[in-house]
Amino acid sequence: MKTTKPTAQALRAVALTGLLSLAFVIPANAVDFSGSLTGVTITDAKVTNSPPVATFTYKQDGETLLFDASGSSDPDGSITAYKWDFGSGSVAEGATSSYTPTSPANVQVTLTVVDNNNGVALSQRTVGLAPKGVQDDFSTDTAGNYTVLKGGLKVADGAMHSSGNWTTTYAIHTTELASDNHTVEADVFYSGSSGTSGLLFRFNKEQATGYSVWFASGRIMLNAYSSGSEKFISFYDGKYAAGIYRLKAEISGNLIKIYVNGTLVLEKTDSTYGTGKQIGLKINPYGDATSVTVDNLTGN
């Protein structure tokens, strides 16, 4: 029986076909790949075609990730196909694409590009949504971004004020942070012994519970808040005069740390509330709604 030995050209064709098939199979079955794949290039065995270069950037728009592979290139031709694999069966085509993760977990994204001579390149990255945060400098009237629990809010002169004299205002930002363990800080304008202002943190909107920290009579006061009433936890007598202070609250588990102008002034363990992902404002004008204000609120 006579056998025919395959030619070198036929072997190269089979090899190339197999590699191209592998290139498109790997992204969809990335769970079988052990380790982190940063890039792969495939071209013909004769090396007559230079492989393309696969690269992409991404940015976040709300809860959606936007991808752009227009930076991919081919040194001796052009890119003819862009294929995206976001895992879990989610795929797309085109130089740009978008993907909205169904959970905060990281996503392994694989981009495959093909050039005009069937050269293939893969680029893979692990990406994820940035943690939710709050940034508000009150340069515009952003009172609508807050849920007022009591009193009222008004923006004036680039800072947040209570809307009326003698009215204690409690308000939480509508953005929910990524974790119950978070920080919140702001520039607090303290008028002196008569007026107080401060922050809310680990606030649970459904239960109307959380923690509050604020200036009062030269002291830093730390309380637990529940449905309009506050329960004393601890204080620090810093004998603060009227002025502007950078007030920061940090909570992790049962540990609460309070900073003034970057210095740790109060550290307290408290287990009153364990859940709550919102932050906010407390403003007690005590007769002067304009002088007791909060500015440059941030939280993460």
Query: Considering the domain boundaries, does residue 2 fall inside one?
Result: no
Single-letter residue type at 50: S
Q: Report CA torsion sign: 173, 175, 181, 183.
A: negative
Query: Considering the domain boundaries, does residue 1 fall inside one?
Result: no
Do 95 and 242 fall into the same domain?
Answer: no
CA-CA distance, 151 to 280, in Å (whole number)?
13
Count of the separate structural domains present in the chain: 2
- What does the DSSP assignment read for 56-104? -EEEEETTEEEEE-TT-B-TTS-EEEEEEE-STT-EEESSEEEE--SSS
CA-CA distance, 176 to 102, in Å (whole number)?
17
Among 97, 127, 157, residue at a domain's last position: 127
Three-state DSSP class for residue 118: coil
Query: Considering the domain boundaries, does residue 209 fall inside one?
Result: yes
Do 146 and 230 fall into the same domain?
Answer: yes
Do 138 and 119 fall into the same domain?
Answer: no
Do 51 and 170 fall into the same domain?
Answer: no
Do 254 and 283 fall into the same domain?
Answer: yes
Q: What is the spatial order of strands in the sheet that 120-127 belongs to?
A: 39-42, 120-127, 107-115, 79-85, 91-93
Query: Considering the domain boundaries, does residue 115 fall inside one?
Result: yes
CA-CA distance, 230 to 196, in Å (whole number)?
14
Q: Report CA torsion sign: 238, 241, 242, 246.
A: negative
Give the structural domain span for 101.
8-127
For position 150, which CATH number holds? 2.60.120.560
Tokens of 211: 């923690």
Do 105 and 140 fall into the same domain?
Answer: no
Q: With contact defined as beta carbons under 8 Å apart, do 227 and 218 qualify?
A: no
Among 127, 145, 161, residue at a domain's last position: 127
Q: First-to-last CA distance in the chain?
A: 76
Query: Considering the domain boundaries, does residue 243 fall inside one?
Result: yes
Which one-letter DSSP state was computed for residue 51?
P
Among 107, 127, 147, residue at a domain's last position: 127
Query: Considering the domain boundaries, does residue 205 fall inside one?
Result: yes
For position 79, which CATH number holds? 2.60.40.10
Do 141 and 289 fall into the same domain?
Answer: yes
φ, ψ dihedrals at 51, nearest 5°: -70, 155
Query: Considering the domain boundaries, does residue 206 fall inside one?
Result: yes
Tokens of 281: 């404002």
Do 277 and 161 fall into the same domain?
Answer: yes
Which one-letter DSSP state was computed for residue 114?
E
Query: Which residue ranges of the chain lie beneath pLDDT 50?
Result: 1-35
Nearest Cα residue to 27 out of 82, 65, 75: 82
φ, ψ dihedrals at 221, nearest 5°: -110, 135
Do 163 and 234 fall into the same domain?
Answer: yes
Three-state DSSP class for residue 36: coil
For residue range 106-164, list pLDDT tens digits in order: 889 999 999 999 999 999 998 887 777 999 999 888 899 999 999 999 998 889 999 98
Single-letter residue type at 196: T
CA-CA distance, 7 to 14, in Å (whole number)?
11
242 contacts: CB under 8 Å, gap ≥ 6:
190, 191, 192
Residue with tokens 């085109």: 94
Q: What pLDDT sits at residue 9? A: 43
Q: With contact defined as beta carbons under 8 Å apart, do 210 and 273 qualify?
A: yes
Nearest Cα residue to 294 out of 284, 193, 286, 192: 284
Do 290 and 151 fall into the same domain?
Answer: yes
Query: Considering the domain boundaries, does residue 3 fall inside one?
Result: no
CA-CA distance, 181 to 163, in Å (whole number)?
31
Q: For residue 191, count CB atoms less than 10 angstroms from its CB and return exposed for 0-12, middle for 13-18, buried for 19 or more.
A: buried
Do 157 and 241 fall into the same domain?
Answer: yes
- What does the DSSP assignment read for 137-157? --SS--GGGEEEEES-EEEET
Do 89 and 187 fall into the same domain?
Answer: no
